[in-house]
Chains A and B, each alone.
Chain A
């Protein structure tokens, strides 16, 4: 393929941007020909190249097939930096720190629940606050906020939100170590805590889904998933708390980059050495937001269990409302990886990418240890979402990472011009999908046409070996923020 960047085809599923200029490592994009052309058109590949110039970057600046143009770092980007001489960057995590997905399975059959789904969606939308500017019922004092930011999900479970067995099915056991609440400004607290237990807006959603395809029966069985099953997926983040922490640290790190003598091709790439006070503080603040985001999804899980109990008139335990997994796709983590046969401690940034650890990895929950980590990839509301499993190939090729979703191809306003919200709602309902949205016009921003084909994104990751398909889930009912 003739391209301005002289991309090299490594395989049909992987392209290399050769080192040039100030790049310390090459860029590597997991994509098929269509995706790579699209990424190049919207200059997302320039962003992959910019990240390759940041100090301490290891192996390559990576992008997943759902790559699209972001601010600073591309969305769908993965970059790992050496702890000794590398950097950490709030822009490499994003404003919605620890935005992620959790999948809750049930023992219910989708076919038997079809008539009930509209009532269930109505009840869920009533009990879980969603949309712009909505706040939740969980009110915490300062001391309790600190506890939640340090101890995350185990703490909120101890307060009655959920069950102890939920904890092991959450990345990091629902509490990322190293959180320091003394670094959280009063402003970040104010913005975040009114929103505890709320879904948020934009692309965040709660979906009631049907498992419509099983690709890997052994893995599906281990994850408690079967064909025809009713499941619920929650996609949400750290709300105003994460937004404010990122805002503050991008500013702080603008100065820190200059002091460290790092020249930035784009100010949104502002960063600081991992070992500097600014770098350490950012990680400790980010961990607070990560714990908040996971606790937030836990509160919503508690509320949705109550909604199921109310609608189906049966206890949640009896209905088998169990957590399959909860994984974040905007986060920086300290992890050990083998690079050219050498074990290294790295700060892995995933901005719109999902951790995809293989069978046998100590960070995979015991009950899934022989299978691999569940990877949850939310699609757009008209099509499908996927449950995948992590692989050894991901460990060697992408620092244990894979895609995070469909990835936008169309701007929000362009989508609104092209698609009428009420027509979209009618179309989805004709497909048997119940839709509850704060506003029908914003619904159009999230129309299936605005996203890449999720089947193809997951296919590229499967072929490249970054994650393997386990099951596909189709929406039956959607609540959009």
Chain B
């Protein structure tokens, strides 16, 4: 099974992520989101950020996690390529994100993602593991 696949919509775009554990599905959703922004292979792991988010339920936690990463991307002007969720519960998540400052000479930025939305949002346990779906406003 792939780590994630792209969901297509007329105006917007989304990610369907897969994982053996809930932590992994959150990591793969983040990887999928940044794969829309830049070629992940061109991003080195030179800086890291600790990320803590809280929310009232699992779905909101996914949106919060992704929006936190978008905030880091825009405000710190960094591209992120690797993600680690250290602990996750129904209402909180603690993890790390790794990447490097944007270098317009080397990094070809493809898509401007405004936000992860709640539209058609899903985080589900399946017979084979976990699946998450999220639509972005681009």
Spell out A's residues near B (CB within 8 Å): 42, 68-72, 75, 94-96, 131-135, 187, 190-191, 194, 200-202, 240, 243-244, 246-247, 250-251, 254-255, 266-268, 270, 408-414, 438-439, 441-442, 481
Dominant secondary structure at the B interface: loop
Q: Which residues of A contact B96 (CB under 8 A)?
A: none
B window 103-138: CB within 8 A of A = 104, 108-112, 114-115, 117-121, 135, 137-138
Q: Are A70 and B60 in contact (CB under 8 A)?
A: no
Of B13, B109, B118, which is within 8 A of A131 by CB? B109
Q: Are A72 and B109 in contact (CB under 8 A)?
A: no
Q: Which residues of B contact A94 (CB under 8 A)?
A: 137
Q: Are A409 and B10 in contact (CB under 8 A)?
A: yes
Of A75, A247, A268, which is within 8 A of B11 by CB? A75
Of A75, A96, A201, A251, which is within 8 A of B64 by CB? A251
B74 at the interface (CB under 8 A from A): yes
Q: Which residues of B contact A439 (CB under 8 A)?
A: 108-110
Of A71, A201, A254, which is within 8 A of B112 by CB? A201
Q: Which residues of A contact B111 (CB under 8 A)?
A: 132, 201-202, 412, 442
- 7 CB < 8 A contacts A-B: A94-B137, A95-B114, A134-B104, A187-B75, A191-B75, A251-B64, A255-B56
B8 at the interface (CB under 8 A from A): yes
Q: Which residues of B contact A69 (CB under 8 A)?
A: 9-11
Q: Which residues of B contact A42 (CB under 8 A)?
A: 10
B window 1-48: CB within 8 A of A = 6, 8-13, 37
Pick from B56, B63, B115, B121 the residue with the most CB of A within 10 Å: B115
Q: Which residues of A contact B10 (CB under 8 A)?
A: 42, 68-69, 408-411
B49 at the interface (CB under 8 A from A): no
Q: Which residues of B contact A134 (CB under 8 A)?
A: 104
Q: Are B117 and A413 in contact (CB under 8 A)?
A: no
| Closest residue on chain B to residue A131 by CB atoms | B109
Q: Are B75 and A133 in contact (CB under 8 A)?
A: no
Of B67, B71, B77, B135, which is within 8 A of A133 by CB? B77
